[in-house]
Amino acid sequence: MKLQPDRLDVQSILGYGPGWIGLARNGVAEKIERSVIIGSRGELMDWNCARFEDLSAAHFDQMAEYRPELILFGSGTRLRFPAPAFLRNLMTQRIGIETMDTLAACRTYNILAGEGRHVLAAMLIEPVN
């Protein structure tokens, strides 16, 4: 599915499909085929998790240091919620987190980033068999 943000002066998600997302970064399109954390202030980090079942608190803790207003968790092709204990550190620091499937997280990220919000999107990109 192709996603077209209204504004391209921030890192934007251009598209999404099984096993990948398309990212516009510094005017260059890139196809990402691994789990990743994307931020509206230019953050781009590998998120070392290939399957939902492998998630742990450490996966979510690594985002706290960036102090975003909100974290969007794209849980893959279907909606799945992380264990509340995994989110304890974020909640303690009053960092909001919203869980949605990855396609919805892509759309929501573009809207919030386009509004100038400091948002991180933790995208679970599971390998396609």
In tens, the pLDDT along 24-48 reads 988 889 999 999 999 999 999 999 9
Q: Is 129 inside any structural domain?
A: no
Q: Is residue 2 part of a domain?
A: no
**Structural domain for 62, as ranges:** 12-123
The answer to the question of residue 16 being in a domain is yes
* pLDDT bucket at 91, cuts 50 / 70 / 90: very high
Q: Per DSSP, which regions of the chain are E strands?
A: 12-17, 20-25, 28-32, 36-39, 44-46, 70-74, 96-100, 119-123
Q: What is the CATH number of the domain that holds 73?
A: 3.40.1230.10
Residue 92 domain-assigned (yes or no): yes
Residue type at 1 in one-letter notation: M
pTM, whole model, 2 decimals? 0.89
pLDDT tens sequence across 101-121: 999 999 999 999 999 999 999
**Structural domain contains residue 42:** yes
pLDDT tier at 49, thresholds 50, 70, 90: very high
Pick from 22, 65, 77, 58: nearest CA to 41? 65
Decide if 7 is inside a domain. no
Percent of the chain predicted with pLDDT > 70: 93
Q: In this structure, is residue 3 part of a structural domain?
A: no
Residue 4 lies in a domain: no
User: What is the pLDDT at residue 1?
Assistant: 53
Q: What total of structural domains would you count in the chain?
A: 1
